[in-house]
């Protein structure tokens, strides 16, 4: 699933493909915004972690689950 994170005072957004579900990402964002967690921490499909301070979040856009197509019928 594609997740875009806007960070205050940063010219570009952070884009990552996460293996987490939309509900898991939304829960992590909610915890960061309500003060339960000081940072927003997400993992991408390759095991890398993205950590953003909660007080610097501008927005988080959660995309649709990506479906991988295999074979010649995908052209």
- pLDDT of res. 68: 63
Per-residue pLDDT of the chain (75 residues; tens, 9 = 90+): 899 999 999 999 999 998 889 999 999 999 999 988 999 999 998 889 999 999 999 999 998 766 666 667 655
Q: Are 57 and 21 in contact (CB under 8 A)?
A: no
**CATH number for 6:** 2.30.30
- pLDDT of res. 1: 86
What DSSP designation does 26 have?
Answer: H
Position of tokens 């940072």? Answer: 39
The answer to whether residue 75 sits within a structural domain is: no
The tokens of 64 are what? 């649709």
Quote the CA–CA distance of 42 and 52 in Å, as a whole number. 9
Largest CA distance in the chain: 48
The answer to whether residue 25 sits within a structural domain is: yes
Q: Beta strands 57-62 and 2-7: pairing type? A: antiparallel
The answer to whether residue 47 sits within a structural domain is: yes
- pLDDT of res. 35: 87
Residues comprising the chain, all counted: 75
The answer to whether residue 26 sits within a structural domain is: yes
Q: What range defines the domain where residue 27 resides?
A: 2-67
The answer to whether residue 46 sits within a structural domain is: yes
């Amino acid at each position: 699933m594609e997740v875009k994170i806007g960070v205050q005072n940063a010219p570009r957004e952070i884009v990552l493909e996460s293996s987490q579900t939309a509900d898991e990402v939304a829960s992590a964002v909610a915890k960061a915004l309500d003060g339960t967690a000081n940072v927003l921490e997400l993992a991408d499909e390759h095991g890398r972690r993205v950590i953003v301070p909660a007080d610097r979040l501008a927005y988080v856009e959660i995309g649709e689950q990506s479906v991988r197509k295999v074979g010649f019928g995908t052209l």
